[in-house]
Amino acid sequence: MSLAKNNALDEISWELNPRLLRMMNDATRMEAAQRTKPGPTAFTTRFLVQATFPHSDPGIHYFERGTEWLKLSISAPPHIGVPYGSLPRLLLAWICTEAVKTQSPVIGLGKSQSAFLKKLGLHNDGRYIGKLKEQTLRLVRSMISVTGSNSGAVTIENMMVAKKAFFFWDVRALDCEKWESTLTLNTDFFEAIMSAPVPLKMEALQSLRHSPLAMDIYAWLVYRMYTLQKSKRTEMKIPISSLRRQFGSNYATDKQGARDFKKTFIRRLDEALLFYPEARHHVEIYREYIKLTPAQLHIPPDKKESKQKRSLDGANRENGKKRTLA
């Protein structure tokens, strides 16, 4: 049974499986922790919520995704490749979080790969050790371009995540514990983070990591519900075709591709809603679009004009100037 209100004709059923049961348990723990310790445990940037990295290896050194209003393109050296999958998403969320917490562009990654894996909440085993190094290199070697358009005006911003990086993760080196691996963020990227960070729960991202699409939908839904509430609109209808351009550029462009994307999107939306239960009855699925109605904020601002409110108010002011991505 879908957690979202499914008004489309093609109902999608849920099957309990170990992965789903684990996420349900994780969501229960996160909800309990939220009651005693509310507030964000992670941040990301607006443009990475509105346009995302590839879910799987595209096998090329250039990738583009987005809609007619905003596009994100990534280019990387041919022998390196573009970042993809869950790890770069966790990496960026952790990097953004550290930047917000420390107010500094210099990020300490730990004295070993195992230390860094621990920071990311991942197990220190063969599944992640090799991938961590590969995806970190792909991320810091890539050029990210964000292009926005509105009423004939086009804005383009090109940036790299880091301007300098020092990795000392050679497990064979006897003195590796003497050195701290560091990442110095590019000024433009650091300013993009600090101007309006989007608050999230790291626990949700970590639990959803087996599906990059579910991670993307979770972050997007949190951001969308905030902007919907601030705009004082009573509802927002988002075409499935627009969502496919934003999240599913790897799907075929024919009718079967549209059906496949919609089926997968709804399944991953249900997983994301486990971690944002306040929105559960505010997302309705129709044949051609989904409808959002204002829900309780996932991470409510506190009474003292929290960083979340200040930062996202900046995003809302910008949204008043140009149309946001559907």
303-to-34, 130, 198 alpha-carbon distances in Å:
16, 44, 18
pLDDT tens digit sequence for 27-84: 999 999 988 888 899 999 998 898 889 999 999 999 998 877 888 999 999 999 999 9
Band the pLDDT of 325: cuts 50, 70, 90.
Answer: very low
Band the pLDDT of 211: cuts 50, 70, 90.
Answer: very high
- This prediction's pTM: 0.86
pLDDT tens digit sequence for 150-177: 766 778 889 999 999 887 665 554 445 5
Furthest C-alpha separation in the chain:
62
Task: Kindly state the tokens that stand for 320.
Answer: 């008043």
Can you tell me the distance from the alpha carbon of 138 to that of 78, in angstroms, rounded to the nearest whole number? 10
pLDDT tens digit sequence for 218-269: 999 999 999 999 999 999 999 999 999 899 867 878 889 889 999 999 999 9
Q: Which amino acid is at 259?
A: R
